[in-house]
């Protein structure tokens, strides 16, 4: 059934807009009038999901992507409605008017129509890979097969909400240091390009060799004043190179390997990837997905090529009859603590519970480490800024002191 976007007037004369499905434009108008809404304009909605995935930057893809928070909220509400006895199509139809995002309304309406046409819920979701991940689709498929769709949706909402909450806490912890860094860079740029040249211009008339700090300061000031644009070009070139490298297999491998080898940052990235891997694998296994299929799914969401390769190799070994802990330890990438906890879970027969505990442990460690790091960053940044300002002041004062000595 086609989906139409409309702009209409309600009984109080206020403009409203939304989504409606009908057999045609005339039927949609009649349906709106029956509900007490008078259409002004109505047109058929275009398909949101592209038929072919295009690589590279796309503004349209950026703006049509649905936020994780919206998907989590929809998943939670859908689980509640299905658990209350609503049929799937009726539950989705009830959620469409409550959805704030116009693009997400279109997606839900088209998913509902796909289900009405005879497709499963998982098949309908798979048409929108940019919004619903392979994990989401496969867990829904497992829920439909086992008849526990509302339980699966509840767990999906838990996963999405926990991951979003962790990322929000990390962003909140890093917000102040990043703000301080930006302000510090702006202050130094203004000092070097506007304030320092007006002060150091008096030194040009001195017929003597200036101190080394003063010459360095004058050089930096002249450079930023004349070639400030080159800094932005260099930053843009680095960003472009990084973006291009991420799209190649060798470049992505080199970037991910460099991140894991970086002191401090590498450990945090590894723990975050392991937490995502463990929580996802545990949820899949709890919902009846077999080990090999679950490993094939989670290898694509690890967020690091090296860890993905480790999981892929482990899946092959598990297929040959080896235990999961022994298979993962062969890669030498995952932390030893996670391997030991998986081994305990296998021996006790509670692997799913242990995987959830691994995710909780590593997520808490990442959050604690970032909070500790930000507490160190603030005094370090103040020290660095003070050192730079002190260098500027010293570079300006040294020639003045020498001039005073000559006068005496």
Q: Which residues pair with 20 in a beta bridge?
A: 4
Tell me the CA distances in angstroms from 372 to 264, 349, 367, 375, 391, one per residue in order. 12, 36, 9, 5, 29
What is the distance, to the nearest Å, from the Cα of residue 390 to the centroid of all Cα atoms in its chain?
39
Q: What is the pLDDT along the chain (408 residues), one digit of tens a residue?
A: 566 677 776 666 677 776 666 667 777 777 777 777 777 777 766 554 444 444 444 444 444 567 778 888 888 888 888 888 888 888 888 888 888 777 888 888 888 888 888 888 888 988 888 788 777 887 788 778 767 788 778 877 877 787 777 778 777 877 887 888 888 888 888 888 887 777 777 776 666 677 788 888 888 888 888 887 888 899 899 989 888 887 888 888 888 888 888 887 788 888 888 888 888 788 778 877 788 888 887 776 666 788 888 888 888 888 888 888 888 887 778 888 888 999 899 888 888 889 989 988 988 888 888 778 777 877 888 888 888 888 888 888 887 777 666 555
Kindly tell me the sign of the dihedral angle through the C-alpha atoms of 377, 378, 384, 388.
positive
Global pTM reads 0.61
Crossing angle of helices 134-146 and 291-298, rounded to 10°? 160
Tell me the CA distances in angstroms from 33 to 2, 30, 41, one per residue in order. 18, 5, 13
Superfamily of 66-160 according to CATH: Type II secretion system (T2SS), domain F (1.20.81.30)
Domain ranges in the chain are 3-44, 66-160, 162-408
What is the distance, to the nearest Å, from the Cα of residue 363 to the centroid of all Cα atoms in its chain?
16
**What is the DSSP code string of 343-390?**
HHHHHHT-HHHHHHHHHHHHHHHHHHHHHHHHHHHHHHHHHHHHHHHH
Q: What is the pLDDT of residues 231-288, one digit of tens each?
A: 889 989 998 988 888 788 888 888 888 888 888 778 888 888 888 888 878 877 887 7
């Amino acid at each position: 059934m086609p989906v139409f976007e409309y702009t209409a007037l309600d009984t109080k004369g206020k403009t409203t807009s939304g989504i409606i499905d009908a057999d045609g434009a005339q039927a949609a108008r009649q349906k709106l009038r029956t509900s007490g809404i008078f259409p002004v304009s109505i047109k058929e909605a275009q398909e949101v999901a592209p038929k072919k995935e295009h690589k590279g930057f796309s503004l349209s893809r950026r703006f049509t992507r649905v936020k994780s928070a919206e998907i989590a909220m929809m998943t939670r509400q859908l689980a509640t409605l299905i658990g209350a006895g609503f049929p799937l199509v009726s539950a989705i139809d009830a959620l469409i008017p409550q959805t704030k995002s116009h693009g997400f309304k279109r997606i839900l309406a088209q998913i509902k129509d796909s289900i009405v046409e005879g497709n499963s819920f998982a098949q309908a979701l798979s048409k929108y890979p940019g919004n619903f991940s392979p994990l989401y689709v496969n867990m829904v498929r497992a829920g439909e097969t086992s008849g526990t769709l509302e339980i699966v949706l509840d767990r999906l909402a838990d996963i999405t909400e926990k991951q979003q909450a962790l990322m929000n806490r990390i962003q909140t912890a890093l917000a102040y240091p990043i703000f301080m860094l930006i302000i510090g860079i702006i202050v130094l740029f203004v000092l070097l390009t506007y304030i320092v040249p007006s002060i150091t211009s008096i030194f040009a008339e001195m017929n003597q060799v200036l101190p080394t700090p003063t010459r360095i300061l004058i050089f930096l000031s002249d450079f930023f004043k004349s070639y400030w644009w080159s800094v932005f070009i260099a930053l843009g070139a680095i960003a472009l190179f990084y973006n291009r490298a991420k799209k190649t297999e060798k470049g992505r491998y080199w970037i991910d390997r460099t991140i894991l080898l970086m002191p401090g940052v590498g450990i945090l990235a590894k723990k975050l990837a392991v937490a995502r891997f463990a929580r996802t694998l545990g949820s899949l296994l709890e919902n009846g997905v077999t080990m090999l299929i679950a490993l094939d799914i989670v290898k694509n969401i690890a967020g690091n090529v090296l860890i993905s390769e480790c999981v892929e190799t482990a899946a092959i070994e598990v297929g040959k009859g080896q235990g999961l802990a022994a298979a993962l330890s062969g890669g030498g990438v995952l932390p030893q603590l996670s391997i030991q906890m998986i081994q305990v879970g296998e021996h006790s027969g509670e692997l799913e519970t242990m995987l959830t505990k691994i995710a909780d442990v590593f997520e808490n460690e990442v959050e604690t480490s970032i909070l500790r790091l930000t507490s160190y960053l603030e005094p370090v940044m103040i020290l660095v800024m003070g050192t730079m300002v002190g260098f500027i002041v010293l570079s300006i004062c040294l020639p003045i002191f020498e001039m005073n000595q000559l006068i005496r």
